Amino acid sequence: MTSPTLNARLNTYSPTVVSVFRIIVGLLFALHGAMILFGWPLNMKMPVGDWPAWWAGLIEFVTGVLVLIGLFTRPAAFVASGTMAVAYFWQHWLFNDGPHIFWPFDDRIGGNGGELAIIFCFAFLLILFIGPGSIAIDSRRQRRPLANTAAAPRRPGLLSRFRRR
């Protein structure tokens, strides 16, 4: 059981730790995509347009960079999470060419090799819901007041007659 003082102290660091988590996950994801697109830092390069590997690499690289820098973090995390869910089911479990093994552990010990896809899927799902943290371009953009914005007059919409008065 943790003390209220410890919880309060740890809570002050949460926005920064969320940012560090987001940066590391985004960096790893972008590097995974870079290996497929550019053959760097390890060579897994696929031919341009090769389906689905090259396209997955493109999604991994772009969404990884966006999450890394904290720009459009939530939409990028949503796409990245969905990509990894599809990757797990399509490449590792149900639709692979080999046996349909449920366990996502290393395929050398009898699993389907999808552990990394599941971890990335849920890491991005977490980022989607908790946001980018304090160190992100998104955090800076949201704090900036909009210049010369007067409240636009409300025009009645299609369903305005059904509103309660």
Is-contact 101 93, C-beta < 8 A?
Answer: yes
- No. of H helices and E strands in the chain? 5, 0
pLDDT per residue as tens, the chain (165 positions):
668 899 999 999 999 999 999 999 999 999 999 999 999 998 989 999 999 899 999 999 999 999 999 999 999 999 999 999 999 888 887 766 666 777 888 878 888 888 999 999 999 999 999 999 999 999 888 665 555 555 555 666 655 555 555
Q: What is the largest CA-CA distance in the chain?
A: 66
Residue extents of the structural domains in the chain: 15-141
Is-contact 106 113, C-beta < 8 A?
Answer: yes
Distance, in Å, from the CA atom of 55 to the CA atom of 34, rounded to the nearest integer, reads 12
Is-contact 64 28, C-beta < 8 A?
Answer: yes
Is-contact 33 54, C-beta < 8 A?
Answer: no
Could you tell me which residues come within 8 angstroms of residue 29 by beta carbon, excluding any fewer than 6 positions away? 60, 63, 64, 67, 68, 80, 120, 124
* Backbone phi, psi, residue 114, to 5°: -95, 15
pTM above 0.85, yes or no: no
